[in-house]
Structure 1
Amino acid sequence: MASSAPAAPKRQPSVLNKAYLILYNFASAVAWSVVLGRTVSLLSQSGPQAVYPGVGEWTKWTQTVAGIEIVHSLLGVVRAPLLTTLAQVASRLLLVWPVVNVFPQLASQPWYSSMLIAWSVTEVIRYSFFALSISGFQPRPLTWLRYTTFYILYPIGISSECALIWQAIKPAGDLDPLFPWALYGVLAIYVPGSFMLFTHMMSQRRKIMRNLKAQSTKAQ
């Protein structure tokens, strides 16, 4: 699922905590920029079958490192809701490890490329937004992108994820008869899970856009 949990500080952070969050978000934005650049380049030059060999390992570990955001939320380092963070991180780890890593042949399908594009565009915007916000800057265009592009990127990412999970069901049965049932279970919770993430972002957008409008009114 596409990322949705904000990474702004829960309370006024210490200098060390603030520096850590800026560094983490900046490094994450760079890492996902690599995913985006490589995916688009490989896709345009050689087609979807070249994407996984060229960027699959980088994506897998970039997303795995992002699992630390669960710890951030759990410890209150950021104000991201724990359940929302857990849902989006767990769903992505499922895609990069038990699905694509086990069945790399699925990554030759266009769904893998569209998933990476949706993920990486979302993350470049998200991490850039938080790195700048924590640093004391909040460019309005970037704020608008952060709280608007999910209307397009979430459906692309979620549908791509579901397609890959669905395609993994048949080969999963060759490994373990229970594996397909686990994947069916994952698909069953995607609808409520996706609804939770999407409505959370819509709620965040209403709040942020209302604040931006109020700031514009005061500035006039």
Structure 2
Amino acid sequence: MAKNALLNLYLLAFNGASCAGWAYVLYLTVSTVLKSHEAGQDWNQVAQSTWDVVSMPLKVVQTMAVMEIVHAAVGFVRSPLGSTLMQVSSRLWLVWAINVLCPVSRYQFGFPLMVASWGLVEVPRYSFYALNLYNAVPGFLFFLRYHLFMVLYPSGVLGTFSHRLMLNFLVISM
């Protein structure tokens, strides 16, 4: 097998696993929010239930994104290293430093909003990357890949901002 074929196979596996991981996280997030809300939980309880269900797969799939930095650094993909490093590290910071070390941040409405926004962006993105390796991207996926951000960027920012706000309240109250 040629070097390019092996690399494409590896990238297909990586992008497929990342897509599946994010699809699972998105499914868990949406189903937990719906079930918790139907059970009469307030939004803080909904967020806590969401964290309880989604935290482990979220940590795994987001930590896998470190490989995107490696891919950019060694030239496996054409992504710019700087922006890849910033995006991956900012999400790792939110998942591991903010959510894990500061529980109050994950127990408010911004957490499920942030995770759902990420999932809705990442599933089409990784699908696009996987299919683009073989020039097989359908038109609807191309459209989603380059247009979802108009809706999901503001919702992701709102979810992220609420984390920062909760962290600021925690620091001020100490």
Fold match (TM-score > 0.5) = yes
Instruction: Determine helix, strand or coil for the equivalent of 1:89.
Output: helix
The alignment status of 1:90 with 2:112, answered yes or no, reads no
User: Which residue in 2 is equivalent to 1:152?
Assistant: 151
Are the aligned partners of 2:104 and 2:166 in contact in 1 as well (CA < 8 Å)? no
Distance 1:13 1:147 in 2: 30
**1:61-84: CA deviation from partner (whole Å, max 9, x where unpaired):** 210111111111111110001111
Q: Secondary structure at the match of 2:100?
A: coil
- Measure the CA separation in 2 of the matches of 1:100 and 1:61: 14
Q: Which amino acid aligns with 1:151?
A: M
Equivalent in 23, 33, 51 of residue 33 of structure 1? 23
- Partner SS, residue 78 of structure 1: coil
- In structure 2, do the counterparts of structure 1 residues 169 and 139 end up closer, same or farther at CA, with 3 Å as the change threshold? same
| CA 1:13–1:139: 2 relative to 1, 3 Å | farther
Q: Percent identity?
A: 37
Q: Deviation per CA, 1:148-196, whole angstroms, max 9, x where unpaired?
A: 0011111111221122022112334688xxxxxxxxxxxxxxxxxxxxx
Which ranges in structure 2 are unaligned for 5 or more consecutive residues? Answer: 37-45
1:77 equivalent to 2:76? Answer: yes
1:43 to 33, 53, 70: 33
Secondary structure of the residue aligned to 1:100 is helix
Contact 2:18 2:64 in 1 (8 A): no
**Which residue type is aligned with residue 144 of structure 1?**
F
Deviates more, 1:24-33 or 1:152-161: 152-161
8 Å Cα contact 1:36/1:117 also seen in 2: yes
Secondary structure of 2:133's counterpart equals helix
* Residue number in structure 2 paired with 1:170: 169
Kept in 2: contact 1:22–1:135 (CA 8 A): no
Distance in structure 1 (CA, Å) of the matches to 2:121 and 2:157: 12
| Counterpart residue type for residue 26 of structure 1 | G
Q: Say if 1:95 and 1:165, in contact at 8 Å, map to a contact too.
A: no
Cα distance in 2, alignment partners of residues 39 and 138 from structure 1: 27
Matched, 1:108 2:107: yes
CA deviation after TM superposition for structure 1 residue 13, in Å: 6.3
Q: CA deviation at 1:133?
A: 1.2
SS of equivalent to 1:137: coil
Contact kept, 8 Å, 1:129 with 1:138, in 2: the verdict is yes
Structure whose alpha-carbon radius of gyration is higher: 1
The verdict on how the C-alpha distance between 1:102 and 1:172 changes in structure 2, with shifts beyond 3 A counting, is farther
Code of the residue aligned with 1:18 in structure 2: it is N
After TM superposition, which residue ranges in structure 1, 4 or more long, deviate above 3 angstroms?
A: 172-175
**1:23 corresponds to which letter in structure 2?**
A
Amino acid of the residue matched to residue 150 of structure 2? Y
For 1:190-201, what aligned pairs fall within 5 Å after superposition? none
Q: Match of 2:9?
A: 19
Matches within 5 A, 1:121-160: 121-160=120-159
TM-score, normalised by the number of residues in structure 2: 0.88
